[in-house]
Chain A
Amino acid sequence: MTYHVASPSCMPHSDEIADLVAQYRRVPLRGRTITLVPYEARHAGEVVRLRNDARVRHYLHQPEELTLEQQLRWTASYSNRRDDLYWLVEHQGRFIGTNRLYGIGPTQAEKGSQIIEESVAAAGPFALESDLMLLHFAFETLRVEKVLAVIRSDSGKVLSMNRRFGFRDAALRTVRAVEFRELVLEAARFDPARLDALVSYWSNRVGH
């Protein structure tokens, strides 16, 4: 993968984090089967399409259909934030999903908003690689100590997938009467060799 930057050993300050976020809002991250394309206003329609899938709306806890106007308002707010990176997942020239790191600080970040279209999810390692790239980026480029994830308790397969990365249950949280699990992955527990090898195996059959 080609998205790592040379990194000093000390922990970055908030200003350095903001600089990195600004820098990586301009740089696509290329993986083996996908590219993470930094979100821009021109992608708003794609995000509306991806997020309005009924299955996605359930696990992202989005009761109403998202409108283009709402997404553009979110885009304006996103443009002013310096602790948030949102990507489109591109495979063979098509946007098949999204992924995001937010609440990025000197010691931690939260991942969320992952979508991979159901029609392609089982045909290649796109969800796996999307999350692996994000975690490599968080631990190796941003150099955070831990990554958090908040997932609906009834999203069993999403919880299972995150536990394969080493995430552990940390707490329960209720949002608008729905129970969520807070998971945490410390840098020391991130051991991606086996999953990286799996992506590599699959990259030989699905291409980029």
Chain B
Amino acid sequence: MGIEALREVFAAALEIAPERVNAELAYNSIEEWDSTAHMALVAAIEQRFGVMLQTQEVLDLSSFGKAAEILRRHGVAFDE
């Protein structure tokens, strides 16, 4: 599954244009990444990639890059 799938998940959960999802996207960088969007993002990642994040991973998921790193630890391979 490509990194593009993760980008789509972010755009849909945060309700932002896909072009705004890039390597620099972080919790503190945009207003739309609010606490409700964070809940939606975690749920969407789990459903799309078939994983269950640990509580610490939910807390650590603070950027697009961090999400990719967490998913790699769960065995998700990105063909970048």
Does chain A have a CB within 8 A of B33? yes
Q: Is chain B's interface secondary structure helix, strand, loop, or mixed overall? A: helix
Would you call B59 and A159 a contact (CB within 8 A)? Answer: no
Min CB distance B43 to A, Å, is 5
Would you call A160 and B37 a contact (CB within 8 A)? Answer: yes
Query: Which listed residue, B31, B32, B33, B36, touches A195 by the CB 8 Å rule?
Result: B36
Would you call B35 and A157 a contact (CB within 8 A)? Answer: yes
Cβ contacts under 8 Å, B36 to chain A = 125, 127-128, 161, 164, 195, 198
Does chain A have a CB within 8 A of B11? no
Does chain B have a CB within 8 A of A201? yes
**Which of A6-14, A42-50, A104-112, A115-123 interfaces with chain B?**
A115-123
Binary A-proximity of B4-41 (CB < 8 A = 1, otherwise 0):
00000000000100000000000000011111111110
Min CB distance A42 to B, Å, is 28
Number of A-B contacts (CB under 8 A): 45
Q: Is chain A's interface secondary structure helix, strand, loop, or mixed overall? A: helix
Cβ contacts under 8 Å, A156 to chain B = 31
Min CB distance B37 to A, Å, is 7
Q: How many residues of B contact A (CB 8 A)?
A: 16
Query: Which listed residue, B15, B32, B55, touches A123 by the CB 8 Å rule?
Result: B55
Q: A128-B39, A198-B39 are in contact. Are A160 and B31 (CB under 8 A)?
A: yes
Of all chain B residues, the one with the shortest Cβ separation from A164 is: B36
Pick the 8 closest A-B CB pairs, nearest first.
A156-B31, A157-B34, A161-B34, A160-B34, A127-B35, A128-B36, A125-B39, A160-B31
Would you call A116 and B43 a contact (CB within 8 A)? Answer: no
Contacting residues of chain A (15-63) with chain B, CB-CB under 8 angstroms = none
Does chain B have a CB within 8 A of A76? no
Of the A-B pairs whose beta carbons lie under 8 Å apart in the complex, a sample of 27, sorted by A's number, is A116-B35, A121-B35, A122-B35, A122-B38, A122-B58, A123-B55, A123-B58, A123-B59, A125-B36, A127-B35, A127-B36, A128-B36, A128-B39, A157-B31, A157-B33, A157-B34, A160-B31, A160-B32, A161-B34, A161-B35, A161-B37, A164-B15, A164-B34, A195-B36, A198-B36, A198-B43, A201-B43
